């Protein structure tokens, strides 16, 4: 039996988490007709309700925001109703669950876009990235640059998606500002070469992310709003020349908005933690509320960071796929199950709800 802060309750805004283990959002490509959550989603998430907090998979705020086949949305009543089944199931097990709100920007394909249009981006720069569409991985399509007068509509789509998430029973939302998707694209100068109020300076490139955050806070409250960022991750072909200055500024402004948590991918998403120089402790010092650490954490690392006060919550991603009872396995030192990569994306119940808990 392992005793550590990881298994202690934690107060997050107005809710109490049973422990400090967070299930990170995991795209599984299993949505049904109308991009409604899978018929198996309620069971999948409720199996993992032992996590102190579940952050449900990235969920597009509009059809334009979709970048991969069979990912769920939160912009129609059918989608809201489908997610309500999930939140009810998680709450019945005593769990807490947020929804990650997603606009992929240029990481999309014309076959997924309204009327087969080009994906949108801060600038018309095609990403060196793949997407999953028509049951195969293909290069993303050439994007078009968003017009200035389109940005209020995207901000409103995020705001409405947050309201829809609360209507669906979620305890809160996480803004997806990471991994080379739309808000991250605006923040990083490798994808954003605009010359208007949303490009150029650090302040301008941060503008869309901060306006989205402010709109959501005004809609559902700061105590129910978190955000995920990845300052140095090269995910989906994104890059920037000034990550420390850029994200120190962003985090200071997010702290001013009193967001309930900051979820940080430390290093390359799903890859090396030391992919580029960056002072995450300095970033942490800019944020006054809960800091959620993510990327390759082991039990030992989690304990070290919690004891040092450099993190408040620890997010685990793929270990939750094969281990629905991951918290108990960590607590007791039990062996972890490796998931089957062949059933990671786009299957049915297999590889989704059939991983058994410990005896």
| Catalytically active residues, by annotation | 181
State how far the Cα of 261 lies from the Cα of 312, in Å rounded to an integer.
9
State how far the Cα of 90 lies from the Cα of 92, in Å rounded to an integer.
5
Q: How many beta carbons lie within 10 A of that of residue 207, not counting itself?
A: 19
Backbone angles phi, psi at 173, to 5 degrees: -135, 155
State how far the Cα of 146 lies from the Cα of 154, in Å rounded to an integer.
10
CB 20, CB 316: distance < 8 Å: no
Q: Count Cα neighbours of 253 within 13 Å in the Cβ-side half-sphere.
A: 19
Nearest to 276 by CA among 301, 241, 305: 241
The region, left, alpha or beta by phi > 0 then psi within -120 to 50, assigned to residue 94 is: left
């Amino acid at each position: 039996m392992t005793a550590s802060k990881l298994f202690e309750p934690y107060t997050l805004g107005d809710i109490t988490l049973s422990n400090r283990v967070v299930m990170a959002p995991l795209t599984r490509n299993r949505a049904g007709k109308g991009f409604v959550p899978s018929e198996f989603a309620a069971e999948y998430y409720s199996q993992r309700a032992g996590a102190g907090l579940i952050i449900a998979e990235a969920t597009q705020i509009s059809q334009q925001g979709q970048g991969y086949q069979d990912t769920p949305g939160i912009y129609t009543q059918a989608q809201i109703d489908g997610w309500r089944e999930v939140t009810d199931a998680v709450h019945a097990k005593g769990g807490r669950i947020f929804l990650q709100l997603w606009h992929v920007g240029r990481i999309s394909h014309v076959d997924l876009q309204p009327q087969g249009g080009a994906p949108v981006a801060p600038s018309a720069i095609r990403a060196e990235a793949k997407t999953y569409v028509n049951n195969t991985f293909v290069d993303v399509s050439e994007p078009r640059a968003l017009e200035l007068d389109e940005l209020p509509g995207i901000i409103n789509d995020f705001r409405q998606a947050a309201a829809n998430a609360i209507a669906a029973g979620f305890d809160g939302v996480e803004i997806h500002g990471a991994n080379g998707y739309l808000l991250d694209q605006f923040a990083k100068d490798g994808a954003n070469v605009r010359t208007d109020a949303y490009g150029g300076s650090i302040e301008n490139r941060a503008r869309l992310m901060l306006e989205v955050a402010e709109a959501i806070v005004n809609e559902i409250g700061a105590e129910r709003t978190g955000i995920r960022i990845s300052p140095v991750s090269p995910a989906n072909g994104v890059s920037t020349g000034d990550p420390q200055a850029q994200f120190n500024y962003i985090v200071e402004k997010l702290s001013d908005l009193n967001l309930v948590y900051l979820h940080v991918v430390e290093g390359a998403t799903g890859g090396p933690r030391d992919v580029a120089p960056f002072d995450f402790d300095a970033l942490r010092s800019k944020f006054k509320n809960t800091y959620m650490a993510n990327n390759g954490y082991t039990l030992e690392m989690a304990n070290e960071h919690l004891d040092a006060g450099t993190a408040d919550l620890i997010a685990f991603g793929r270990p939750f796929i094969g281990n629905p009872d991951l918290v108990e396995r960590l607590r007791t030192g039990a062996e972890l199950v490796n998931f089957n990569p062949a059933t990671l994306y786009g299957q049915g119940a297999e590889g989704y709800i059939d991983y058994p808990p410990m005896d």
